[in-house]
Amino acid sequence: MTPEPLNALLNAIDVEATCWAGPPPAGQVSEIIEIGVCVLDLRTLERVERRSLIVRPERSQVSAFCTALTSLTPEAVAAGLTFPEACGVLRREYRSESRPWASWGEYDRRQFQRQAGQASYPFGARHTNAKAMYAAAFCLPRPGMAQALVHAGLPLVGTHHRGGDDAWNIAALIAHLVRHGHWPAASGGH
């Protein structure tokens, strides 16, 4: 791999996880079933790559509620990568341990931390909560991603609550923040 300029690229990450209309059924826990990645070039503000990694849950089932929300079916996730395999893809192909990354809120970071017992945590310390940055930059209560896109005058591309599409949209919001001087340039995040 060729070295990349420090902080030139950022990984926007969005996860979808098993979920239910109420509490999880006995013996089940919420697990990542999709990892969306969008690579944003912080110099050009171009989104240069988008990917969806489907992840096979080990301790939960995809509910009808989850399928209605995400469009991910039990059959689709059954053919996915294991969580450790998906973390390996993030490390190898997206340099996740050294590249700064961002998510819309803290949920995604915390979900990875909860599942880190199955595989070592795939990210470095340079995480930015893009939702908090957006709220602070524009003096708003913390908006959902779709609300922020409307506020920014940007289209919602793809299917909301699909990791690859949401990561793409989050990267557009980060580019909007950079254009308006509201992104920590020196660190790529915090």
Q: Structure pTM?
A: 0.93
Total of domains in the chain: 1
Per-residue pLDDT band for 4 (boundaries 50, 70, 90) equals: low
Flag whether 2 is in a domain: no
- Residue 35 belongs to domain spanning: 9-179
Flag whether 190 is in a domain: no
pLDDT in tens, 140-166: 999 999 999 999 999 999 999 999 999
Flag whether 187 is in a domain: no
Flag whether 43 is in a domain: yes
Flag whether 36 is in a domain: yes
Query: Using alpha carbons only, how large is the chain's radius of gyration in Å?
Result: 16
Flag whether 184 is in a domain: no
Query: Is pLDDT at 119 greater than 80 in this prediction?
Result: no
Task: Read off the CATH number of the domain in which 61 is found.
Answer: 3.30.420.10
